[in-house]
Amino acid sequence: MHGKYRHGVSKLALIAIIVVIAAIAIGAGTYYFTVLPRSQIKNPDTIIVATIGEPETLDPAWAYDTASGEVIFNIYDTLIFFDGPKVDKFVPMIAEKVPSVENGLIKDNGMTIIFPIKKGIKTHDGGEITPEDVEYSFERAIVQERDGGPTWMLLEPLLGVDALEELGDISDPSQAAKIAEMIDKAIEVEGDNVVFHLAKPFPTTVFFQILSQTWSSIVDKECAVKNGAWPGTWDNWVDYHNPEVPELQEVDCGSGPFMLEKWEHGKEVSLIRFDNYFLGPAKIKRAVIKRVDEWSTRKLMFLKGDADIIYVPRQHMKEIEGAEGVRVVKDLPTLQVDAIFFTFEVDPKSPYIGSGKLDGNGIPPDFFKDVNLRKAFAYAFDYETYIKEAWLGEAEHIPGPIPKGLPGFNPDQPKYTHDLKKAEEYFKKALNGEVWEKGFKIIILYNTGNVQRKTAAEILKENIEKINPKFKVEVRAVEWPTYLKAMVKGQLPIFIIGWIADYPDPHNFVYPFMHSSGTFSAFQKYSNPTVDELIEKGITESDQSKRVEIYKELQKIYYEDVPSFIIDQPLARHYERDWVKGWYYNPIYPGVYFYVLSKGY
């Protein structure tokens, strides 16, 4: 499966026209309040973040959640990295240069990309990063390729597939050997260079965005192998494919600005400055990410200055605004959307379809195959009320899965609005009038504690039940693992979930929302051959203007087919003590980048 699921709090060469991020300094509102004297700055050499939850793993080839990513991108480096708040500009890190056609490092119409590797970069384990480490890092990530992991983003440009199984049966030794040869040839060392050979035309900027993320972290091979990771040999690579547990679960094999000091599960992750960092030591000595699930405790820590940065739930934000010594940055544009999805073929054994028949006590498994029902639900939703109640007005109702700020976003695209008369019209058309005559009962789940999803489900319930007394909607809360498991198994006739960009490109949204093999589409059993063809064309098209037109066409089909409908693109906020210096916003970061931070006035 692809992508980062947002389970309630925020966790894939056209991009040069992205405009929203460049406008952050203008569009975001910053609020400053009374400060404490310099002498009262607490923990002056430490940045403390108080948040909820904790990382899943420290293995960069495995991690696909923002909590893990926040730690990983502080202890590892990548070949290149985002240039400050920009998502379409890059700076060299482990690489000597950012490749370009002009400097001769991009060849064969973008199919060959060369990265000269810096010398003398020290690792936390006492070694030095070499071109062989770089090659190993990418090959290891592809070899590991665990279910539901991030490796598909490397497989797509380098091998032309979303999963290694598409290349052959890895249980067959002869086919496994052929696959190994393909992986080995995709990333090669040539002297001081690492050379990537792409399997198909792929936007260079998108490839660079993928290389700037945590799944592309450069690992110290000697350290990794010493800790049980794949040894880099091809005769046994299948033994390391799709492991049950991450190889580097709590191991630091990085060269980044911070080292892992300790991970106290359920309590905190502590990072300590790496004084031999090749760009120079960080300004702070230590960074601590504390797990503080209870809001009142987290709030008190922040107001007392015992935490420098905190996560504030939307419903509690008024409790922080105006507090002494606090800085609030508002109206930050995000690259995430929330939507309501329909499952076209629900598992007949699902406990969430009642009788499984259209008899007023349930729904048939193929209920939402009828586009009239999908349109009826979309018109029954009150978008304005939802944004006002669930997001306190700090979100937008956008027309399609491509968020505002990415190429192809079309503000003029038609979108569904709250219109109960139209909803009634489509309900009457559904299943040749049988839905209106017989009625139905549907269960809508939300994950416990998710205020936004609960609000969305209750709005649907209220409006649908208004239309016809034979229509019944039950809203039910379940724990997140239960919700996710039921969604993946195709048991939910309707589900509400969010998507955060893996990388800032429209492909990372249309694929999961619309492609027959995409994350959500696959769960839903939604398939449209025209859509698949357009999506494949969009990611390989080199002409920027043509690519934009492809994504506009996809959004038109999205409106007509209604496999899901978008309910919001939220704005973000950032809360910090006003003695924190150096923070900037990049919507693609998985968390706080500690290297740029210091404390003082």
Question: What proportion of the chain, given as a percentage, has pLDDT over 70?
Answer: 94
Crossing angle (nearest 10°) for helices 152-159 and 204-211: 140
pLDDT of residue 526: 97
Pairing of strands 564-577, 326-333: antiparallel
Q: Under CATH, which number does the domain 258-323 receive?
A: 3.40.190.10
Residue burial 511-535, b: 16+ Cβ < 10 Å; e: rest: bbbbbebbbbbbbbbbebeebbebb
Residues paired with 258 in a beta bridge? 273
What does the pLDDT look like over 307-338, one tens digit per residue? 999 999 888 999 998 899 999 999 999 999 99
Instruction: Give the C-alpha separation, 100 to 92, whole Å.
Output: 12
CATH 3.40.190.10 fits 59-65+74-246, yes or no: yes
CA-CA-CA-CA torsion for 584, 588, 592, 595, nearest 10 degrees?
Answer: -70
Region of 185 on the Ramachandran plot (φ > 0 left; ψ -120 to 50 alpha; else beta) = alpha
More reliable by pLDDT, 327 or 23: 327
Please, which residues bridge with residue 232 across strands?
A: none
pLDDT at 95 over 80: yes
Run of H or E including 486: helix 480-488
Ramachandran class of 450: left when φ > 0, alpha when ψ lies in -120 to 50, beta otherwise: beta
Q: pLDDT tens for residues 297-308?
A: 999 999 999 999
Shared fold status for 258-323 and 336-571: no
Does residue 32 register a pLDDT over 90?
no
Among 4, 339, 13, residue whose Cα is nearest residue 153: 4
Share of the chain above pLDDT 90, in %: 81
Q: How many CB atoms lie within 10 A of CB 262?
A: 12
The model's pLDDT over 51-89, given as tens digits with 9 standing for 90+, comes to 988 888 999 999 988 889 999 999 999 999 999 999 999
Asked if residues 80 and 56 have their Cβ atoms less than 8 Å apart, the reply is: no
Summarised one tens digit per residue, pLDDT across range 548-584 is 999 999 999 999 999 999 999 999 999 999 999 999 9
pLDDT at 45: 96
Stated pTM of the model: 0.83
Q: Return the residue matching tokens 């009828």.
A: 370
Q: State the pLDDT confidence band at 121, using cuts at 50, 70 and 90.
A: very high
Sequence ranges of the domains in the chain:
59-65+74-246, 258-323, 336-571
pLDDT of the residue at 9: 38
Q: How far apart are CA 173 and CA 153, in angstroms?
A: 26
519 pLDDT tier (thresholds 50, 70, 90): confident
Q: How confident is the model at residue 485 (pLDDT cuts 50, 70, 90)?
A: confident
Looking at the predicted structure, is the pLDDT value of residue 13 above 70? Answer: no
- Whether residue 37 has pLDDT greater than 60: no
pLDDT score, position 408:
92
What average pLDDT does the structure give for the chain?
91
pLDDT value, residue 11 = 36
- Give the SS3 label for residue 373: helix
Q: What is the pLDDT of residue 240?
A: 96
Instruction: Say whether pLDDT at 17 is over 70.
Output: no
**Using CA atoms, how far apart are residues 211 and 205, in angstroms rounded to an integer?**
10
pLDDT at residue 2 tops 80: no
Strands 46-51 and 286-291: parallel
Rounded Cα distance between 345 and 347, Å, is: 7
Alpha-helical runs (H) found in 160-220: 173-186, 204-211
pLDDT in tens, 157-187: 999 998 899 999 999 999 999 999 999 999 9
The residue-averaged pLDDT of 117-129 equals 97
CATH of segment(s) 336-571: 3.10.105.10
Q: CA nearest 443: which of 382, 496, 485?
A: 496
Give residue 488's pLDDT: 83
Residue type, 574: H
Residue 298 is predicted with a pLDDT of 94
In 3-state terms the chain splits into helix, strand, coil percentages (rounded to 5) of 35, 20, 45
